[in-house]
Amino acid sequence: MKWLPNFKGIDFFPHDLRLPFMAYKGPAIALSIVAMLLSLTVFFVKGLNYGIDFKGGLVIEVQTASGGPANVVQLRDSLGKLGIGAVQIQEFGAPSDVMIRVEQQPGGEEAQQVALGKVQEALKGEYVSRRTEIVGPAVSSELRFTGFLAVFVGVLAITAYVWFRFEWQFAVGVIVALAHDVLLTVGVFALFQLEFDLSIVAALLTILGYSVNDSVVVSDRIRENLRKFKRMELNELLNISINETLSRTILTGCTAIVVLVALYVFGGEVIRNFNLAMLLGVVIGTYSSMFIAAPMLGYLGVKRDWSGAKGATPAGGAPTTAARASK
């Protein structure tokens, strides 16, 4: 490959930087606990703005037949008279596109179809349908159930894997970090009343995957260093491990964020909220693997001798009282 220009990459990361992550583990964990409590409060006080998947009802996206701007006021007026409950109308993406939301109709599955017929009749001629979604009561309650179950099972599956690959202390750190990521993301959705639908559940699951990915990279390095530095004080070892993987964490995080921003800006209206959730999750997940998952090990202690027979030595790391800052 002599023809190939041989050029060097820019190692823009200052590697001799030794950031004292463990020194901040107390404040960081306290901050996270406060943030989690706030998220929970917002979740219970304001609740989530469930999308059609979970709440049921009708969503109809239409475009004016002429291609000109839609008359939202008139539309609101004519659809409001149909006697199908509250109708929400908003511009969607372009002035000619309108999204119409009709709440779930009382009277079972067939009532939804009747409402759809009424709306279609009222829109006839002036608007062209671009998208229609009807979710009946049976499906919406099912989706709600399986959606939450999916997140729950996802957390369990990941934790089980980490437990199997590492020690239980790592699994505890990971499960706390995952719960933290999910709670905060849900909290932001509740706080700003962003629409929470099935795609956000997919985003949450992906965030879980990304966050644990980060934690696993750090954990792998911790395990390696545990073998390498048998006598090093645990907090310092954890700190070194986080620092050693920091360049990778930042670079991968940046790439993910760049790609997600591209999707958010250019990917269209339909997956905008999904991308927002992913962006949030990547930032929160990166934070939690550095400031929560790894520092948790400092509190829990961990088996130090990885070279000998399995389980020969009990967990004998720095006891939890040695929670002092590393240099």
Partner 1 sequence: MHFSPFKQAMIWAVVALGVLLIVPSFFARETVDKWPSWVPRKQLSLGLDLRGGAYLLYSMEPGDVRKDWLETLRDDARRRLRDAKIGVQAVGITGGAVQVRLAKPEEADAAVKELRNLAQQIGNVLTGTTGTDVDVRKAEGGVILIVPTEPGIQNRISNAVSAAIETIRRRVDPDGTTEALIVREGTSRILIQVPGLTDTTELKKLVGTTARLTFHEVSRDMTAEQAKQTRPPPGFKVYEGGARDEGALVLRETPVVRGDELADAQPGFDQRTNEPVISFRFNNAGARKFGAFTTSHVNQPFAIVLDDKIISAPVVREPILGGSGQISGSFTVESANQLAVQLRSGALPAKLTIVNERTVGPSLGADSIEAGKLAGIIGGIATIVLTVLAYGTFGLFACVGLLVHGALTVAIMTLIGASLTLPGIAGLVLGIAMAVDANVLVFERIREELRAGKSGIAAIDLGFNRAFVTIADSQLTTLACATVMFWLGSGPIRGFAVTLSVGILTSIFASVTVVRLLVSYWLRSAKRTPRGVEVPV
Give the Cα separation of 65 and 318 in Å (integer). 71
CB of 230 to partner 1, least distance (A): 18
User: Is the separation of the CB atoms in 307 and 215 below 8 Å?
Assistant: no
CB-hemisphere CA count at 13 Å for 83? 2
CB of 45 to partner 1, least distance (A): 28
CB of 75 to partner 1, least distance (A): 18
Question: Which one, 46 or 248, has the nearer CB to partner 1?
Answer: 248
Question: Which one, 34 or 251, has the nearer CB to partner 1?
Answer: 251
User: Is the separation of the CB atoms in 178 and 155 below 8 Å?
Assistant: yes
Question: Which one, 60 or 318, has the nearer CB to partner 1?
Answer: 60
Nearest to 187 by CA among 34, 31, 48, 29: 48
Residue 219 DSSP SS3: helix
Question: Which one, 235 or 243, has the nearer CB to partner 1?
Answer: 243
CB of 37 to partner 1, least distance (A): 26
Distance of CA 200 to CAs 81, 100, 144, Å? 33, 20, 12
CB of 143 to partner 1, least distance (A): 7
Question: Which one, 95 or 319, has the nearer CB to partner 1?
Answer: 95
Question: Which one, 51 or 317, has the nearer CB to partner 1?
Answer: 51
Question: Which one, 20 or 253, has the nearer CB to partner 1?
Answer: 253
Partner residues linked to 83 by β-bridges: none
CB of 267 to partner 1, least distance (A): 4
CB of 129 to partner 1, least distance (A): 6
Give the Cα separation of 101 and 180 in Å (integer). 32
CB of 197 to partner 1, least distance (A): 9
CB of 271 to partner 1, least distance (A): 6
- Pairing relation of β-strands 195-196 and 49-50? parallel
Q: What is the DSSP letter of 82?
A: T
Question: Which one, 16 or 73, has the nearer CB to partner 1?
Answer: 16
Q: Where are the alpha helices (DSSP H) in the chain?
A: 25-45, 52-55, 72-80, 108-123, 137-165, 168-191, 198-228, 234-244, 246-266, 272-288, 294-300
Q: Tell me the two tokens of residue 139.
A: 């499906």
Give the Cα separation of 272 and 263 in Å (integer). 8
Q: Tell me the two tokens of residue 64.
A: 């004016």
124: Cβ–Cβ under 8 A, 6 or more apart, which residues? none
User: Is the separation of the CB atoms in 248 and 254 below 8 Å?
Assistant: no
Question: Which one, 42 or 112, has the nearer CB to partner 1?
Answer: 112
